[in-house]
Amino acid sequence: MSTLAPVITWPFIAKTNRIATPIYKILDFLSPLSDLLIRLWAANVFFKSGLTKIQTFDSTLQLFQYEYHVPILPPEVAAYLATGAELGFSVLLALGLAGRFSALGLFILNIVAVISYPDLDATGLQQHQLWGILLLTTLLHGPGKLSIDYLIGNFIRR
């Protein structure tokens, strides 16, 4: 009787575990850095967008008046809210202060941006999807160990 799969023995599992454990430790060590990079990447995108809006705010108001069709809100209110949210939430996200809250705010802003701009092409949609995934990661996972939220949490627990 022959078997197609080799029999895995306990020594094989032990040897695999000896190899895998240091790799897992390295990955666990790098995980907070990954959380930080995700936060900084997303924050950078929205912060730059907010800076662009305030540098040419007359143009921003015109865009919200004629191009972006934000549901419910008047264009001027939407322009001020979007600009404030992009600048404020992105700074909070980068610092990891109120990390989940700021990720949620930018996540919602990202969805509204996609809904409000009907002329968004496939490339633009892919960028918004990437930003949404990055923000969702922080929203679900938290800002990580390299954040002010983590430092505050440690301080409170002591």
| C-beta pairs of 30-34 under 8 Å, 24+ apart in sequence | 31/144, 31/145, 32/144, 32/145, 32/146, 33/146, 34/144
What is the per-residue burial (b if ≥16 Cβ within 10 Å, else e) of 31-64?
Answer: eeeebbebbbebbebbbebbeebeeeeeebbebb
- Give the model's pLDDT for residue 15: 80
CB 7 within 8 A of CB 1: no
Q: Which two tokens stand for residue 115?
A: 């809904």
Range name among 23-27, 87-91, 137-141 with the lowest pLDDT average: 23-27
| Straight-line distance from the first to the last Cα atom of the chain, in angstroms, rounded to the nearest whole number | 62
Q: Which two tokens stand for residue 45?
A: 């995108």
At 97, phi and psi to the nearest 5?
-105, 120
Residue 143: inside a domain: yes
When pLDDT is cut at 50, 70 and 90, the band that residue 103 belongs to is very high
- Give the model's pLDDT for residue 17: 83
Tens of pLDDT, residue by residue over 24-61, are 999 999 999 999 999 999 999 999 999 999 999 999 99
Residue 1: inside a domain: no
Residue 71: inside a domain: yes
Report how many domains make up the chain: 1
- Give the model's pLDDT for residue 116: 93
Residue 20: inside a domain: no
Residue 90: inside a domain: yes
- Residue 92, domain extent: 31-157
Does residue 78 surpass a pLDDT of 70? yes
Cα-Cα-Cα-Cα dihedral sign, residues 70, 74, 75, 79: negative
Q: What is the pTM of this model?
A: 0.86
Residue 153: inside a domain: yes
Place of tokens 């950078």: 44
Average pLDDT over every residue of 70-85:
96
Average pLDDT over every residue of 118-136:
96
